[in-house]
Amino acid sequence: MSEVLIRIGKKDDLPRVLELIKELAKYERAPNEVTNTLEMMEVDGFGANPIYGFFVAESTNGIVGISLYYWRYSTWKGKRLYLEDIIVTESERGKGTGKKLFERTMKHSLEQHCAGMMWQVLDWNDPAINFYKKYGTRFGEEWLNCSLEREQIERFFGS
């Protein structure tokens, strides 16, 4: 087994990052939901006002996983790290890569003086749920996820 190193993501990593995002969408049974592009990711992550960051897991096989995060602000708690996704390519799962990415992300939240970190997990994703339980994760039951897509907002305003 080759050694996996965790490092901060770079703009040159984005093509592989987008491949991993599409792999995750397929795993989560929503392969047609990815509308993000390399151009959007470059602007949003490396433009004048970056809104996300990421770590990559790299081995001799190249980038085999990512942890993508951004900042949230809680009126009750202050600055928090929001872990959008941990993705490990299928052939590398079960080898500790996800653990390394998650722990590096937790450490980053401390380095950035966050009050904590948060994320979501699908209720049917038992491997991920069991993984997070090992860290003493608190799973919520009260809050419902809400979203509006751009097209819905445009229709509302008659755009």
Per-residue buried b or exposed e for 61-74, using 16+ beta carbons within 10 Å of the residue's own CB: eebbbbbbbeebee
**Residue 27 belongs to a domain with what CATH number?**
3.40.630.30
pLDDT in tens, the chain (159 residues): 579 999 999 999 999 999 999 999 999 999 999 999 999 999 999 999 999 999 999 999 999 999 999 999 999 999 999 999 999 999 999 999 999 999 999 999 999 999 999 999 989 999 999 999 999 999 998 887 898 989 999 999 987
Structural domain total, the chain: 1
Q: Which residues are catalytic?
A: 132
Q: Tokens at residue 71, please?
A: 């900042």
Name the residue range of residue 55's domain. 5-157
Q: pTM of the predicted model, to two decimals?
A: 0.92
